[in-house]
Structure 1
Amino acid sequence: MGRVISLYFLVLILQPVFTSGQDTAFHLIKQKTISGSFKDFYTDNFGNIFLISANNQIKKLDQHFDSVGIFNDVRRYGDVYMVDVNNPLKMVIYYRDFTTILVLDRFLNIRNTIDLRSAGILQARAVAQSYDNNYWVFDELNSKIKKIDDNGNVLLESADFRVLFSYAYNPQQIIDADGTLYLYDVKKGWLIFDYYGAYKKHIDVPGWNDVKASGNTLSGFVNNYFYTINPETFSERKANLGISNATKIQQVSDKLYVLTKNELSQYRIQ
Structure 2
Amino acid sequence: MKKIILFLSLIHFCVSYCQISKINASVVKVKFVEVDDFIGEDALGFSYYIKDSNFIKLKNSENWQYTNIALGKIKRVDIQNPLKIVIFYENFNCVVILDNQLNEIKNINFSLENQEISASAIGISSQGNLWVFNSITMQLGLYNYESEVYKKIGLPFDKKIKSYSSNFNTFYWIDENNNFYSCDIFGKVNLLAQIPTYDSIYIADENTIVFGNQNVLYLMEVSKNKIYEIEISEKTFKNFQYKDQNLSIFTPKGITNYKINIP
TM-score category, normalised to shorter length: 0.7 to 0.9
Match of 2:32 in 1: 34
Higher relative contact order (CA 8 A, sep 6+): 1
% of aligned pairs identical? 18
SS in structure 1 at match of 2:122: strand
Q: Does 1:51 align with 2:49?
A: yes
Alignment match, 1:13: none
CA deviations over 1:131-161 (Å, ceiling 9, x no partner):
3331011111210001101143113333222
Q: Please report the RMSD computed on the Cα atoms of aligned residues, expressed in angstroms.
A: 2.6
TM-score (normalised: structure 1): 0.78
State the SS of the aligned residue for 2:91. Answer: helix
Shift of residue 171 of structure 1? 4.1
Structure 2: unaligned runs, 5 residues or longer = 1-14
Bigger CA drift: 108-117 or 39-48? 39-48
Q: Per the alignment, in what secondary structure is the counterpart of residue 26 of structure 1?
A: strand
- Name the CA distance, whole Å, in 2 between partners of 1:119 and 1:226: 44
Determine the C-alpha separation between the residues in 2 that align with 1:152 and 1:219: 35
Q: How does 1:29-178 map to 2 (within 5 A)?
A: 29=27, 31-36=29-34, 38-46=35-43, 47-53=45-51, 55-62=52-59, 66-117=60-111, 118=113, 120-150=115-145, 151-162=147-158, 168-176=159-167
Aligned-residue offset at 1:28: 2.9
Between the aligned partners of 1:159 and 1:83, the Cα distance in structure 2 is 26
Secondary structure of the residue that 1:108 maps to in structure 2?
Answer: coil
The 8 Å contact of residues 153 and 186 in structure 2, kept in 1 or not, is answered as no
Change over 3 Å in CA distance of 1:235–1:257 after alignment to 2: closer
CA drift at 1:49 = 1.6
| Alpha-carbon distance, 1:112 to partner | 0.5
Equivalent residues of 1:30, 1:265 under 8 A apart: no
2:191 is the alignment partner of 1:197: no
SS in structure 2 of the partner of residue 97 of structure 1? helix
User: Structure 1 residue 129: deviation in Å?
Assistant: 0.4
Residue 208 of structure 2 corresponds to residue 217 of structure 1: yes
Mark the runs of 5 or more structure 1 residues left unpaired by the alignment.
1-16, 163-167
Give 2:187's aligned amino acid. G
1:76 aligns to what SS in structure 2? helix
Cross-structure match for 1:10: none
Secondary structure of 1:190 counterpart: strand
Deviations 1:80-118 (A, max 9, x none): 000000113210000011100000011111110111221
Higher helix share: 2
One-letter amino acid matched to 2:106: N
